[in-house]
């Protein structure tokens, strides 16, 4: 056991504002307005941020993300063609257009930000007025007459759960999804692993020891505090990861309850694959686009962390589409989320690293996350 002990309490600062609900049933593809409902200030700011085109540009230009969704839609075209779809947090409406082109009979594109206006114009420009209905409002406030066969949403934030948009998807599921309906993505898994990153640590902390020949080491404690105080959103590679990943949480979007997001705690135990300093822990996620839930398949083996970790390696070309943000995979706009220690911890090969991590919604703003990590 290592003598070092980390008990960090960090709030994941808002850096990538996330999609919100929007749309209204409109005839001829026009934009419909949901009934006005009072918004909490944090929701108002959140939705307002998604009115900025730069956010949508970054997401759409992420080809790993956008191609995964398009591939999933075509992979499950038989469940979409001739069916009713709801796109929760449609943004520019790109996923709604993909679904309409895959043969959906009707798509309710719900968007809470002002981007709903542009989404409606995009629908018209692509001659899909008869199929796509853009509804401007939160999904919790809109009214839709139909039950839907499919719910699609790009709800994932940094570290999977930041922005807390998943509850909106679950609300739509419980209110509108028909029995046996399809949810895309269907499953999500949050992973963690100890990481080493001497270059990053030296560049942010040790840098201050000698700046243009000036001793600025008085700033080193401040640099350590700054580095370890909040999670860092950055790209690391597989070479930075010191152990097999550990499953923090596996989410089945067909059965998961929103209340479970309030606080998630798990104990972890991993073994270092090399002699190296641990600079902190990395977090990343993957989502799967599986078909509709089979009521007869309630095997608990799917939740086995080892099964989840190695699932990718067993996939065949006809298996479900996977979107991964793992360090060894092609980078995405989500990058990875890193919790840096105040000081690195030296470990030997095969040394056990264990502890617990708690991810909880902030009481001040439930779209933010508090993270407590214990490590020994």
Catalytic sites, residue numbers: 154, 163
What is the pairing mode between strands 352-361 and 369-375? antiparallel
Nearest to 200 by CA among 230, 240, 229: 240
3-state secondary structure of 120: helix
Ordered DSSP codes for 40-101: -HHHHHHHHHTTSHHHHHHHHH-HHHHHHHHHHHHHTHHHHTTSEEEEET-TTSHHHHHHHH
Is the distance from CB of 256 to CB of 287 less than 8 angstroms? no
Radius of gyration of the chain from its Cα atoms, rounded to whole angstroms: 22
In the sheet that 106-111 helps form, which strands lie side by side, from edge to edge? 32-33, 132-136, 106-111, 84-88, 148-152, 177-184
Is the distance from CB of 193 to CB of 245 less than 8 angstroms? yes
């Amino acid at each position: 056991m290592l003598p070092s002990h980390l008990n960090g309490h960090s709030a994941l600062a808002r850096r990538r504002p996330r999609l919100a609900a929007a749309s209204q049933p409109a005839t001829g593809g026009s934009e419909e307005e949901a009934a006005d409902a009072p918004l909490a200030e944090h929701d108002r700011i959140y939705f307002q941020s998604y009115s900025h085109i730069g956010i949508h540009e970054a997401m759409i230009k992420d080809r790993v993300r956008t191609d995964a969704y398009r591939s999933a839609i075509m992979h499950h075209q038989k469940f979409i063609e001739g069916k009713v779809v709801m796109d929760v947090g449609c943004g520019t409406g790109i996923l709604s257009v993909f679904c309409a082109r895959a043969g959906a009979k009707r798509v309710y594109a719900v968007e809470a930000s002002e981007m709903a206006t542009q989404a409606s114009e995009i629908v018209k420009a692509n001659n899909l007025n008869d199929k796509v209905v853009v509804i401007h409002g939160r999904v919790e406030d809109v009214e839709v007459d139909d039950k839907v066969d499919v719910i699609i949403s790009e709800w994932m934030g940094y570290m999977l759960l930041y922005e807390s948009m998943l509850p909106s998807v679950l609300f739509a599921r419980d209110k509108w999804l028909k029995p046996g309906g399809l949810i895309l993505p269907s499953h999500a898994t949050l992973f963690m692993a100890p990481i080493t990153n001497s270059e990053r640590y030296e560049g942010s902390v040790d840098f201050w020891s000698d700046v243009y020949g000036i001793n600025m080491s008085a700033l080193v404690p401040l640099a350590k505090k700054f580095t370890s105080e909040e999670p860092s959103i950055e790209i690391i590679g597989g070479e930075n990861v010191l152990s097999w990943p550990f499953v923090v949480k596996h989410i089945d979007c067909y059965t998961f309850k929103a209340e479970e997001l309030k606080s998630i705690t798990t104990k972890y135990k991993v073994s270092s694959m090399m002699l190296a300093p641990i600079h902190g822990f990395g977090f990343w996620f993957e989502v799967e686009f599986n078909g509709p839930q089979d009521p007869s398949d309630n095997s608990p083996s799917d939740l086995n962390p080892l099964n989840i970790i190695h699932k990718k390696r067993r996939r065949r070309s006809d298996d479900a589409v996977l979107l991964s943000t793992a360090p060894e995979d092609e980078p995405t706009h989500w990058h990875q989320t890193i919790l840096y220690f105040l000081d690195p911890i030296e470990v030997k090969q095969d040394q056990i690293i264990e502890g617990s991590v708690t991810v909880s919604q902030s009481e001040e703003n439930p779209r933010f996350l508090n993270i407590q990590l214990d490590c020994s």
